[in-house]
């Protein structure tokens, strides 16, 4: 598959000014009016004011122009839209209304961090000194946009668009509910779930480690505890630590760290999980708000 990353996401949000202030505090760097960059992924978030919060556009990065040709052929063979100009492929997922834009993009290359090995019983690697994370200063800066989770009124249609149409691979499944889809070496880049209305459930942003998840959430909750949604916990599918915060429009923003990476599809065995592990390995109980956001007008 020629795709190798998410490039950007454009979110519709009811109050652009309030949302912009939130994502600034979240740690993304403003690059213009309602545009934000991650530390390693470049400009990855665009905000557009609209009463109906949803994903307007999702950008995907491919290796070269031949990949755009191949994906366009694949879409057209399935009767799906594919408009190609010299360096861009534009498509559209009709159930969610998401515009998909595929361009040739550089791979995201993150400088390696040098995290200390934690002290463990019988294996104290840090002696006579304090733990490095407690003295970290300055804001958390998310490295990149990791994944986007959307609600669709026709989840099977939307999921097939990403798998059959664009060539995403299935990493794990919650049968009948959702599948974790990847277009990169990350465990998942897109997840589609059924919903009474089209909406964006959350975007997820990679930080260095679990301490930076905690530091980022602490910063957002300091003075506005109502932003808390769910965390700290660890997902079973994807293995990542998580903490979800609520933006002013009701869309969740997730800090994540230590996600599974899949470089060899034949070495990875997808799992089909039907019990509580579908949601998490450990953490506080997921709140109803996470499972059925109140602004959708329905209960779980
Ligand atoms: Fe997530």
At residue 297, the pLDDT reads: 66
Name residues whose C-beta falls within 8 Å of residue 32's C-beta, 6 or more positions apart in sequence: none
Global pTM reads 0.96
At residue 13, the pLDDT reads: 97
| Ligand 1 centroid – CA 230 distance (Å) | 11
- Collect residues with CB below 5 Å from ion ligand 1: 204, 254
At residue 294, the pLDDT reads: 85
Low-confidence stretches of the chain (pLDDT beneath 70): 1, 297-300
The model's pLDDT over 228-259, given as tens digits with 9 standing for 90+, comes to 999 999 999 999 999 999 999 999 999 999 99
* Alpha helices, DSSP H, located in 82-224: 155-160, 210-221
| Ligand 1 centroid – CA 43 distance (Å) | 20
CA–CA distance, 162 with 101 (Å, rounded to integer): 13
| Ligand 1 centroid – CA 123 distance (Å) | 33
| Ligand 1 centroid – CA 17 distance (Å) | 24
At residue 300, the pLDDT reads: 40
At residue 114, the pLDDT reads: 81
At residue 299, the pLDDT reads: 43
| Ligand 1 centroid – CA 18 distance (Å) | 22
Helix (H) / strand (E) containing 35: strand 35-38
| Ligand 1 centroid – CA 147 distance (Å) | 7
At residue 1, the pLDDT reads: 59
| Ligand 1 centroid – CA 204 distance (Å) | 5
| Ligand 1 centroid – CA 126 distance (Å) | 32
The model's pLDDT over 119-147, given as tens digits with 9 standing for 90+, comes to 999 999 999 999 999 999 999 999 999 99
């Amino acid at each position: 598959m020629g795709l190798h990353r998410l490039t950007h996401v454009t979110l519709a949000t009811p109050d652009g000014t309030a949302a912009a202030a939130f994502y600034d505090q979240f740690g993304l760097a403003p690059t213009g009016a309602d545009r934000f960059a991650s530390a390693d992924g470049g400009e990855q978030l665009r905000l557009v004011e609209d009463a109906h919060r949803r994903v307007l556009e999702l950008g995907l990065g491919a290796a070269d122009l031949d990949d755009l040709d191949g994906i366009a052929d694949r879409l057209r063979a399935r009767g799906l839209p594919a408009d190609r100009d010299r360096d861009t492929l534009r498509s559209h997922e009709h159930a969610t209304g998401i515009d998909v834009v595929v361009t040739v993009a550089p791979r995201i290359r993150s400088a390696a961090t040098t995290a200390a090995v934690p002290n463990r019983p019988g294996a104290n690697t840090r002696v006579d000194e304090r733990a490095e994370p407690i003295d970290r200063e300055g804001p958390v800066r998310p490295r990149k946009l990791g994944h986007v989770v959307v609600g669709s009124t026709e989840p099977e249609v939307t999921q097939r668009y990403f798998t059959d149409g664009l060539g995403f691979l299935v990493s794990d499944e919650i049968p009948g509910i959702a599948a974790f889809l990847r277009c990169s070496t990350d465990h998942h880049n897109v997840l589609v779930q059924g919903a009474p209305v089209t909406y964006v459930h959350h975007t997820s942003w990679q930080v260095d480690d679990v301490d930076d998840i905690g530091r980022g959430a602490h910063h957002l909750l300091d003075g506005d505890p109502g932003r808390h949604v769910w965390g700290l916990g660890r997902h079973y599918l994807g293995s990542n630590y998580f903490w979800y915060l609520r933006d002013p429009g009701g869309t969740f923003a997730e800090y994540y760290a230590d996600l599974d990476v899949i470089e060899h599809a034949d070495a990875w065995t997808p799992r089909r999980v039907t019990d509580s592990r579908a949601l998490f390995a450990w953490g506080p109980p997921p709140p109803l708000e996470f499972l059925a956001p109140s602004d959708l007008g329905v209960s779980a």
